[in-house]
Amino acid sequence: MSSRSDAGALERARRAGVLTAVLADPASVDEMLAALGDARLVVLAGYVKRIPPPVVARFRWRLINIHPALLPGFGGPGMYGGRVHAAVLASGVAVSGATVHYVEDEYDRGPIIAQWPVPVRPGDTPESLAARVLEVEHRLLPLVVLELARRGAPVAPVRLFAVGSAFVAGDKLGLEFEQGG
């Protein structure tokens, strides 16, 4: 589902046989609910529109998003894309990363599901940091989606933790589970 018909994710989804929808009015509760139907898991990726509260309530613990920083820092209204990475660099922190979280009524405030840190390097620009964080986002989100799908629809938030160091390069990230409260 997208608010833009030219979103690259739509074509990728179609190639994979996943149903897609383009919203004429992303603020329309009825249109969004109709597009989502009875989805067991709704995954946002690059969707910067606010999800209407009735949709959030309908898909409680089944509506997730990915953010290009370690929440709770560097999130909220207007914090997307290059703005996030510029803010991270301006703050002087040594670590950024990616966060998969549940969607709440407020931007980037839902319980965290999983995070993957990315070191901030001397000389980083918003573009160089963004490229490294995006690589991690592309690895973390599918792992979380698969793990949540394997577990089924939760009745409470799920929190996943990396086994070992997330800084170690490799093809697999082991995840352990801890029930949130």
DSSP assignments along 116-172, one per residue: EEEEPPTT--HHHHHHHHHHHHHHHHHHHHHHHHHH-S-SS-EEEEESS-TTS--S-
Q: Which residue has the tokens 């969004």?
A: 32
The predicted-structure confidence for 73-95, as pLDDT tens digits, reads as follows: 999 999 999 999 999 999 999 99
Per-residue pLDDT for 63 more than 80? Answer: yes
Side-chain-side CA neighbours of 32 within 13 Å: the count stands at: 21
Asked if 63 and 120 sit in the same domain, the reply is yes
Kindly report whether the peptide bond that precedes residue 157 is cis, defined as omega within 30 degrees of 0: no
Please indicate whether residue 67 is annotated as part of the active site: yes
Note whether 7 and 23 are same-domain residues: yes
pLDDT band at 46 (very low <50, low <70, confident <90, very high): confident
Residues 28 and 50 in one domain: no
Q: Are residues 18 and 87 in the same domain?
A: no
Q: Indicate the pTM of the whole model.
A: 0.88
Q: Do both 73 and 110 map to the same domain?
A: yes
Indicate the range of 57-61, 85-89, 96-100, 160-164 predicted with least confidence. Answer: 160-164
Assign 168 a pLDDT band (cuts: 50, 70, 90).
Answer: very low
| Placement of tokens 């980083």 in the chain | 124
Residue 155 pLDDT class (50, 70, 90 cuts)? confident
β-pair partners for 112: 101
Looking at the structure, do residues 18 and 68 belong to the same domain, yes or no?
Answer: no
Number of structural domains in the chain: 2
Residue 110 and residue 162 in one domain = yes
Q: What is the CATH number of the domain that holds 77?
A: 3.40.50.170
Domain with 7, as residue range(s), is: 1-37
Rg for the chain (alpha carbons), in Å?
A: 16
Same domain, yes or no, for 77 and 28?
A: no
- Residues 17, 101 within the same domain: no
Most confident range (mean pLDDT) of 2-6, 24-28, 97-101, 144-148 is 97-101
Query: Average pLDDT in the 159-180 region?
Result: 57
- 11 and 54, same structural domain? no
Question: Are 72 and 16 contained in the same domain?
Answer: no
Residue 115 or residue 4, greater confidence: 115
Same domain, 87 and 101: yes
